[in-house]
Structure 1
């Protein structure tokens, strides 16, 4: 599949006097894993919230496969895009199985639901936790259960906000491999990441934000240069070639 699934044109967003996004323009394609990176407060999660339809831009335009997210009927939007947010707290004692089954809510009941939920549980490595009360899970286990619910939604556009934040090394790798796999299946996947080396290793392109503006958009090699990282993050780094993949490996100095 080819073509732009996500189109952002001149988007700005403010809360009171704080301008969180300022004139951002970018696109994301079907079959692509796009990383949104930048320092804390740069506007990454705000951008994802606008894409999700949780908020409306103050100016500019956003479309997801031609649909304006904040104006779309909720069920239609839920079939188009799935979202994994940063916050995973659960107030009710659902089992992991029940939590993941909620991802099927936007769809008509079907004989394939059980298979989709089972695959999502396996892909997020929480099948062994299916009968556990979600309020008893560790932070990393709960994050993976929420990821499984996001996968079960089976949407063509997938938005992941810091999905690796609570995870150990192996599960960070596992989640990014699955995100890359979704892109290979033809989905459009956008992921907010703080680990620049993870972004470089798994993502097709990187969008770097700085104080609400889009500082750079391109391949990991184009965007993740030592000079740009020092300018945007205020941190000196060495950018090395990964000994196995050849992708950029970012090391603070």
Structure 2
């Protein structure tokens, strides 16, 4: 692994803006000089391929080339590119996610240097598109909530109307019942006196309990327990 010492300074340097042709030629000559082993080649290839991912920048980071006298940071660039109907101050995140860029990028061609200004402009355009998408989703959510609230209010009003109508019909029916009851003549005392008395059923005769017996009928059991030694009279 000692052969990788020639490539370690490349990890400490920022991404180059030179043409891919120059970078490939530089790596080829450096490989001939250092003669890395197979494991070092795999390690270096993985390191350079993983450099294509870029982390987010803070909005106060400066642009490589100012777009205008008053546009020198990513925040000012976002503010300049945002549409007028977009609430920029409410939806703007504290960071901006830039577009991915590899250590040796062929987007500008093989012999052309990398266009950093175009890369920053593409990153700003993508951030503005994300803000517009979030704004549309929030607006659609607010409109759906408004429609749901209006539908709920209409349903409650319809239910209240139906309940008042039902209560009105119930009150009318109760009033008619009371009126008909008031118009009916009450029962005369003569009719109540003519009612025949109901015959009372004869109670069964209860046998007396002898000494040595326990009557369980008061406790809900129709039985008499006999604790005597003999059954004689």
TM class by smaller structure: under 0.3
What is the TM-score normalised by the length of structure 2? Answer: 0.21
Structure with greater helix percent? 2
Q: Which has the higher contact order (CA 8 A, sep 6+)?
A: 1
Work out which of the two has the higher radius of gyration on C-alpha atoms and give 1 or 2.
Answer: 2
Structure with greater strand percent? 1
